[in-house]
Amino acid sequence: MEVTVAMDPLFLAWSCGRRRKFQRCSDICSKLLSESPYDQAAWSLKTRALTEMVYIDEVEVDQEGIAEMMLDESSIAQVARPGTSLRLLGTSQGGAPTPAVRPMTQSGRPITGFVRPSTLSGRPETMEQAIRTPRTASTARPVTSASGRFVRLGTASMLTNPEGPFINLSRLNLAKYAKRPNLSKALDLAALATEHAQFRDWWWKVQLGKCYYRLGLHREAEKQFRSALAHQEFVDTYLYLAKVYQRLDQPITALNVFKQGLDHFPAEVTLLTGIARIHEEMNNVISATEYYKEVLKQDNTHVEAIACIGSNHFYTDQPEIALRFYRRLLQMGVFNCQLYNNLGLCCFYAQQYDMTLSSFERALALVSSDEEQADVWYNLGHVAVGIGDLTLAYQCFKLALAFNNNHGEAYNNLAVLELRKGRIEQAKAFLQTAASLSPHMYEPHFNFATLSDKVGDLQSSYTAAQKSEDAFPEHVDTQQILKNLRQHFATL
């Protein structure tokens, strides 16, 4: 006669939680709570499972919505010194490729090799510009607001059962729970718990700082994080504090915070990555590359560091070295459209033509959005221009616009091809569209200035040349057009 002994349900739920099977853990706890509603162990375990299912690393996720962009009341210096601001253009510290070589974002920062949150540090001047601005390379619109975004990402209390929410926050007595050091609920609870701990518990101060940061009270958040660091040195606290200074547009202070963290936690990868990101956003690419190399010395599988170093090599006319870095990503198991797209470009510029088209074919097979498809066809158009097949290039740029009609670069290149065919009016229309969609690019403004100069429209040529100069002050050809036009106007 066999005797079967069932495993204790609570232990089974705990085991599922340890193995990250959170849904099964939650279901077992729900069954336990239906039999014994006051079982605190089951409540705590289910709360933890639901929280882990929707956990977001707030150190990494930091995207500004339209409300934060347009309604930010914090004032910044309008004449910031070069290299001290992330929001103002022209703060490059030199040594970086010019916009003629490396594309720029709308905020005047170089295109990075890795899509990361909050890379758009500039403030849009108009609501239309804010709505048109993408927040990453894979979305076409900014999020509406931070509060709405956090709700849409999900919170543990909103993972509901048919009977209703698991935890009804409105009925909680926060003063009672604040005395228990193992539960956490938002700003009120954090404040009460900090007070109950006689302002000596660093963990509650960090939670309070996170709440203040979420509410946009950055100076209050700074005080809490500083106070927490005085009690306990912790890597995440340094990261949160640096994030506050970045939002306050104080990159130099953020760098100092990261370096203070490195004094206590030498060779910490997250701190080194934070320093490299700030240097890259400030267009100080040489320093950024050095820090990314330091990251790889500690963690040779760090995807962001490999991608950014590869991107920097590509834009400094070293496609063969960039190809090695992107192949390393492929060996590590990164398998997406963007990687094959970059591999195709590196193979083309490194003159490995046998691999170029096969890489782009893989990229087209892996696309997940119309914007990605448009970028791949745009790059294929460049390959076609490089081999001299202008008909294929024309079709590729047209396909790019079919998938994304806000692709300013494709409009600009189509205008050049139309001009070669002698269709001046069509070329002017494409250039005007490109200039309106991508005012941060100098190419459409310069091309329009050149075209207007040739057809005798000197006023339009001068206006477009000035816009080109604003976007790229060091562009020699723009300076030459402006010089010729000023001499011409002076003789009139």
Q: What does the block give as tokens for 2? A: 């066999």
Q: What 3-state class would DSSP assign to 110?
A: strand
Q: Is the pLDDT of residue 206 over 50?
A: yes
Residue carrying structure tokens 């079709």? 395
Q: Between 244 and 122, where is the model more confident?
A: 244
Residue 69 dihedral angles phi and psi, to the nearest 5°: -70, -50
Read off the pLDDT of residues 384-432 as tens digits, 9 standing for 90 and up: 999 999 999 999 999 999 999 999 999 999 999 999 999 999 999 999 9
Q: Considering the chain, what is the average pLDDT of its residues?
A: 80
Residue carrying structure tokens 């094959």? 340
Phi-psi category of residue 394: left, alpha or beta, with phi > 0 → left and psi -120 to 50 → alpha:
alpha
Q: At what angle do helices 285-298 and 269-281 cross, to 10 degrees?
A: 160
Q: How many CB atoms lie within 10 A of CB 8?
A: 10
Q: Is the pLDDT of residue 489 over 60?
A: yes
Buried b (16+ CB within 10 A) or exposed e, 360-373: bebbbebbeeebbb
Torsion over CA: 168, 169, 173, 179 (sign): positive
pLDDT of 180: 52
Please report the DSSP string for 406-468 in residue order: T-HHHHHHHHHHHHHTT-HHHHHHHHHHHHHH-TT-SHHHHHHHHHHHHHT-HHHHHHHHHHH
pLDDT of 224: 92
Whole-prediction pTM: 0.75
Question: Roughly how many angstroms between the first and final C-alpha of the chain, as a whole number?
Answer: 113
pLDDT of 240: 93
pLDDT of 157: 43
Q: How many CB atoms lie within 10 A of CB 153?
A: 10
Above pLDDT 90, what percent of the chain? Answer: 45
pLDDT of 88: 61
**193, 275, 282: which is closest to 239 by C-alpha?**
275
| Rounded-to-integer distance, Cα 96 and Cα 460, Å | 31
DSSP letter (8 states) at residue 367: -
Contact indicator for 321, 349 with CB cutoff of 8 Å: no
Residue 110 dihedral angles phi and psi, to the nearest 5°: -70, 150
Residues with Cβ within 8 Å of residue 170, at least 6 apart in sequence: none
Q: Between 172 and 486, where is the model more confident?
A: 486
DSSP letter (8 states) at residue 172: -
Read off the pLDDT of residues 459-477 as tens digits, 9 standing for 90 and up: 999 999 999 998 888 889 9
pLDDT of 4: 54
Read off the pLDDT of residues 100-130 as tens digits, 9 standing for 90 and up: 667 766 655 667 767 665 544 444 555 455 5
pLDDT of 68: 58
Please report the DSSP string for 283-295 in residue order: T-HHHHHHHHHHH
Read off the pLDDT of residues 159-205 as tens digits, 9 standing for 90 and up: 445 555 555 555 555 555 555 544 444 556 667 767 766 667 788 88
CA distances from 410 to 52, 374, 376, 420, 449 (A): 43, 9, 11, 16, 18
**Residue 438 identity:** S
| Rounded-to-integer distance, Cα 224 and Cα 61, Å | 20
Q: Is the pLDDT of residue 35 over 60?
A: yes
Phi-psi category of residue 403: left, alpha or beta, with phi > 0 → left and psi -120 to 50 → alpha:
alpha
- Distance from CA of residue 362 to its chain's centroid? 25
Read off the pLDDT of residues 245-267 as tens digits, 9 standing for 90 and up: 988 888 999 999 999 999 999 99
Residue 180 dihedral angles phi and psi, to the nearest 5°: -100, 120
